Chain A
Amino acid sequence: MGIYNRILKKSLWVFHVSASPCNNCDIEILDLLTPGYDLERFGIKLVGSIRHADVLLITGMGGCKISERVIRLYNQAPKPIFVVAVGTCPIGGATFKDSYSRCGPLDKLIPVDLYIPGCPPKPETMIEGLLRLLGRLD
C-alpha cells in the first residue's frame, strides 16, 4: 500500500458535512478555499458529492436527526475514507453539551481519524491538521 498512499496524499478530495453546527467552523472552512490559504496547492479540493470524497470533514455537535444521515453518508462513501472532526463540538459538545437533541459525540457514530479542536479552529490549524493526516498515511 506504500505507493498508493503516497499518491493518495497528493490528492485528497474533501466532502464537508454540517452535523448541526453553529456555523462558525463552516465559515472558517470556507476561508480555507479563499486565495489567502489556497488548499488546491496541496491537491486538496472540496467536492459536491460523497461518491467522490476521500475525506469526510464533519463539524457540529451531531444532532439526533442528522446523526442518522452522517452514518448513511459514511456508508455511502467509497473506501478508503478518512473522517476529520473539526471544532470542539464533535469531541465534547462545547456549548451544546447538555442539549436534549444531542446524539454525539461523533466517535459514537462513526470511527474518526483526526480531531481538530478549537471553537472555531483557525484555518492555519485546519491546514496543519490535514497535513498531519497526510503524514499519518506513511
Chain B
Amino acid sequence: MIAVYTLLFPGLVFSLFCGMIAWWIERKLSALFQHRVGPPWYQNFVDFFKLMGKESIVPEDSASLMYTIAPMIAFASIVSFATVLGGAVFLKTEIAGDLILLLYLSSLISTAIFLGASASANVYAAIGASRELKMLLSDELVFIMVVLVPVAKSGFSFRLGGLFDNPAIASFSGIVAYILGLLCIQAKLALQPFDLPEAETEIAGGVEIEYSGVLLGIWKLTKGMEFFVYPLFLSVLFFGVKKGFSGLLLNVLFYFLTLILLIVMKNVNPRVTIEKMLNFFWKILSPLALIVLIIALFGG
C-alpha cells in the first residue's frame, strides 16, 4: 500500500502531472503578462522526454559520484514530501510530527541543489551554490516561524491533520503570516525577485549549468513537482482542508489563489542582489514573523 501511495496517487505520478501543469500555468501566464502567446500545455512533458534522449555528460573535473547522486537525493526528497503532504490532505493518513518532517525534507532539497552544484566544478555553478545556501539560511528562519503560526492557532499540534480543522487565515496574524509565507515560498521556488541561484541572464543557469541529458531531466522534474507541492503546502496550512466535494473544489481554488499570487509577484519584480535579499529576510521579515508569532500566541 505504501508503494502505491508513493508511486501513484499522492506521490510520484499524480503530483508530477499536477506539477508539470502548474509549471505550464506559470509559463503561460508569464507569457500572457508579456503579451506573448506562450507554450502549449504539454510543453514541459515534451521537454522532459527530450532530455531523456540526450547525451548525459559528467564533467571530467567534477566529483562524479556526488554529481550524479545529488539530483536523485533532491528528487527522492520531493517525492517523499509530496507523499506525506498528499497523504495528509487527500487520504487523511497521519504520521506523528509530519510537519517537522516536511520542514526537514524541504531544506534537504536545497542542500542537494547546493551539493550537486558544488560537485560540478564550474565557477558559475559555485556562485549559484553559495547563493542557494545563503537563501536557505535566510528564508528558513522566517518559514519556520510562519509555519508555527497555524500550529499555535490549533493548540500546538505538530500533526498536519490537526491543523486542517480551524483555518489560521481567519485571524489577523494568520493573514500577515500567509503573506510572509508567500515570500518564503517564492524564495524556495527560486522565482523572481529571488531567482538568484538560477539567474539565467547573470550566471547562465547557475546551479544547473553543467548538467545535461537525464540528470538535467531529473532536476526539471524536481522543479516541476516543487511548483505543485510548495503552494499546496502553504494553502492547506492556512486555509485548511474542507470536507466533501464542494470542499475539494474550495481547496483547489485556494491552491490556485496561492499559485497565481506567486506568478504575479514573479512577473512584476526584477531580481534583487544577494545582500538586499539577506537584509530583507534577516532585518525586516524575521522580526515581523516573530511579532506575528507572538500575536498568534496571545490569540490575535
Q: Inside 8 A of A43's CB, which chain B residues have their CB? A: 39-40, 43, 46-47
| CA distance in complex: A52, B46 (Å) | 14
In the assembled complex, B283 has its CB within 8 A of some CB on chain A: no
In the assembled complex, A78 has its CB within 8 A of some CB on chain B: yes
| CA distance in complex: A4, B48 (Å) | 12
User: Beyond A40-B38, A40-B39, is A51–B204 a contact (Cβ under 8 Å)?
Assistant: no
Most buried by A among B38, B54, B204, B213: B54
Binds B, one of A6-14, A111-119, A124-132: A6-14
> A10 contacts which of B34, B36, B46, B212 (Cβ < 8 Å)?
B46
Q: Find residues 21-76 in chain B having any chain A CB closer than 8 Å to their own CB.
A: 27, 31, 34-40, 42-43, 46-47, 49-50, 53-57
Q: Is there an interface contact between B57 and A51, defined as CB atoms closer than 8 Å?
A: yes
In the assembled complex, A79 has its CB within 8 A of some CB on chain B: yes
Q: Inside 8 A of A7's CB, which chain B residues have their CB? A: 46, 49-50, 53
Main secondary structure of the interface of A (DSSP, over half): loop
| CA distance in complex: A47, B34 (Å) | 19
Q: Is there an interface contact between B38 and A48, defined as CB atoms closer than 8 Å?
A: no
CB distance from B227 to the nearest CB of A (A): 17
Most buried by B among A38, A51, A54: A51
| CA distance in complex: A54, B57 (Å) | 14
Chain B residue nearest to A51 in the complex (CB): B212
User: Beyond A10-B46, A40-B27, is A80–B38 a contact (Cβ under 8 Å)?
Assistant: no
CB distance from A50 to the nearest CB of B (A): 9
Report B177-211 CB contacts with A as 1/0, cut-off 8 Å.
00000000000000000000000110011001111
Q: Find residues 1-55 in chain A having any chain B CB closer than 8 Å to their own CB.
A: 4, 7-8, 10-11, 35, 38, 40-41, 43, 47-49, 51-52, 54
CB distance from B268 to the nearest CB of A (A): 17
Q: Inside 8 A of B210's CB, which chain A residues have their CB? A: 49, 51
| CA distance in complex: A11, B45 (Å) | 10
Q: Is there an interface contact between A52 and B55, defined as CB atoms closer than 8 Å?
A: no
User: Beyond A8-B50, A78-B56, A79-B55, is A40–B205 a contact (Cβ under 8 Å)?
Assistant: no
Q: Inside 8 A of B49's CB, which chain A residues have their CB? A: 7
Size class of A's contact patch? 20 to 34
Chain A residue nearest to B204 in the complex (CB): A48
In the assembled complex, B135 has its CB within 8 A of some CB on chain A: no
CB distance from B42 to the nearest CB of A (A): 8
Q: Is there an interface contact between A51 and B209, defined as CB atoms closer than 8 Å?
A: yes
Q: Inside 8 A of A80's CB, which chain B residues have their CB? A: 54
In the assembled complex, B216 has its CB within 8 A of some CB on chain A: yes
Most buried by A among B31, B34, B36, B42: B36
Q: Is there an interface contact between B38 and A41, defined as CB atoms closer than 8 Å?
A: yes
CB distance from B174 to the nearest CB of A (A): 38
CB distance from A48 to the nearest CB of B (A): 3
Q: Inside 8 A of B40's CB, which chain A residues have their CB? A: 41, 43
| CA distance in complex: A49, B202 (Å) | 12
Q: Could you list which residues of chain B lie within 8 angstroms of chain A, going by C-beta atoms?
A: 27, 31, 34-40, 42-43, 46-47, 49-50, 53-57, 200-201, 204-205, 208-213, 216
Q: 6 A–B contact pairs at CB < 8 A?
A: A11-B50, A41-B38, A41-B40, A47-B200, A78-B55, A78-B213
Q: Could you list which residues of chain A lie within 8 angstroms of chain B, going by C-beta atoms?
A: 4, 7-8, 10-11, 35, 38, 40-41, 43, 47-49, 51-52, 54, 76, 78-80
User: What 7 A-B pairs come out closest when comparing CB atoms?
Assistant: A48-B204, A51-B212, A78-B55, A38-B36, A78-B212, A41-B37, A49-B209
